[in-house]
Amino acid sequence: MSRQAPLGLLVAVAAIAPAALHMPVPSLPLLAVVFVAPAGAVQLVLTLFLVGIAVGQLVYGPVSDRFGRRPVLIAGLALFLAGTVVCGLAWSLPMLIVGRVIEACGGCAGMVLGRAIVRDLFDRERSASAIATITMAMSLAPSISPAIGAYLAQWVGWRADFALLGALGAAVLVLTAARLEETHRNPAPANLCA
């Protein structure tokens, strides 16, 4: 394969964190009952996810400039998958919150690097079109994921949300490792402080 990354893969990579943010929202009242926790404590499942996304976005750009887009994106997706597994197996609310922070820190790699890879690969005109497609997917994912999350929580249980996110995360990770070549051809100098 040439330097051409499949746009569909970049869309999936970028949309996975917004989907993960919103899918468990309908389960919050259920989580309060399951973990016998006040609503304010359960809200940390969302709030600290957003904090993880915010912090992660500050890191991935400079790190990928130094080490390359592909290995950093794969590491981020692996971190997302690990956090999702922790969430799915969580036996307490604090463990679920820790899993959500890990999930967010990994998932935001796709939000940052999906666009960076597009800028690496395409000229200005094609890049604008591709980024618009990615942005549309990042907007659509939060629209449909709560409905999916509500259905799963109602008929299977709240852990099914994380089972689905884990399956999607694993598929995106495998496809990224198999189909995405390195796109950043001019890594930054070794000294990050300079």
> What residue spans define the domains of the chain?
7-179
In this predicted structure, the answer to whether residue 3 has a pLDDT above a threshold of 60 is no
Under DSSP, is residue 187 helix (H, G, I), strand (E, B) or coil?
coil
pLDDT in tens, 116-132: 898 888 888 888 888 99
Burial of 69 (0-12, 13-18, 19+ CB in 10 A): buried
pLDDT in tens, 4-52: 458 899 999 999 999 999 999 999 999 999 999 999 999 999 999 999 9
Domain 7-179 -> CATH class: mainly alpha
Bigger pLDDT: 79 or 1? 79
Under the banding of pLDDT at 50, 70 and 90, the label for residue 1 is very low
Matching residue, tokens 């409905």: 147
The rounded distance, in Å, linking the Cα atoms of 155 and 153 is 6
In this predicted structure, the answer to whether residue 190 has a pLDDT above a threshold of 70 is no
Alpha carbon distances (Å) from 164 to 58, 112, 146, 167, 169? 28, 23, 13, 5, 8
pLDDT in tens, 154-163: 999 999 999 9
Give the per-residue pLDDT at 7: 87
Q: What is the mean pLDDT of the chain?
A: 90
